[in-house]
């Protein structure tokens, strides 16, 4: 690992207790390890959120580029005619 930079983080008592408990029960060897893992998870989530946003934007653009749509009244009339027979 590259040289680590120390920083100070303030946590609510409940979170601080969870972090300490996780270290005490041996799941992680240090508070820093818990925080690094949490930041890696957060980073993966941010990346996934950005990917999802890009996909949604692409779908929206595809819909906008597909041309004008039909009025909802026309679509619903066609659906009613099809399913009330």
Averages of pLDDT over runs of 10 residues in the chain (85 residues) are 86 97 97 96 98 97 90 94 89
Nearest to 39 by CA among 64, 7, 81: 7
Burial level of 10, CB count in 10 A (0-12/13-18/19+)?
Answer: exposed
Residue 59 lies in a domain: yes
pLDDT at residue 1, rounded to an integer:
58
| Spatial distance between the Cα atoms of 24 and 21, rounded to a whole number of angstroms | 5
**Cα angle at 35 between 3 and 1, to 5 degrees?**
25
Residue-range definition of the domain harbouring residue 51: 13-63
Residue 18 lies in a domain: yes
For 31, other C-beta atoms within 10 Å of its C-beta total 15
| Spatial distance between the Cα atoms of 4 and 84, rounded to a whole number of angstroms | 69
| Spatial distance between the Cα atoms of 85 and 19, rounded to a whole number of angstroms | 63
| Count of domains observed in the chain | 1
């Amino acid at each position: 690992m590259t040289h680590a930079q120390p920083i100070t983080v303030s946590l609510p008592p409940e979170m601080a207790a969870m972090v300490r408990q996780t270290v005490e029960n041996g799941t992680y060897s240090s508070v820093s390890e818990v925080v690094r893992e949490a930041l890696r998870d957060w980073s993966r989530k941010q990346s996934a959120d950005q990917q999802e946003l890009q996909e949604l934007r692409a779908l929206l653009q595809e819909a906008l580029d597909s041309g004008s749509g039909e009025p909802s009244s026309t679509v619903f009339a066609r659906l009613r005619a099809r399913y009330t027979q």
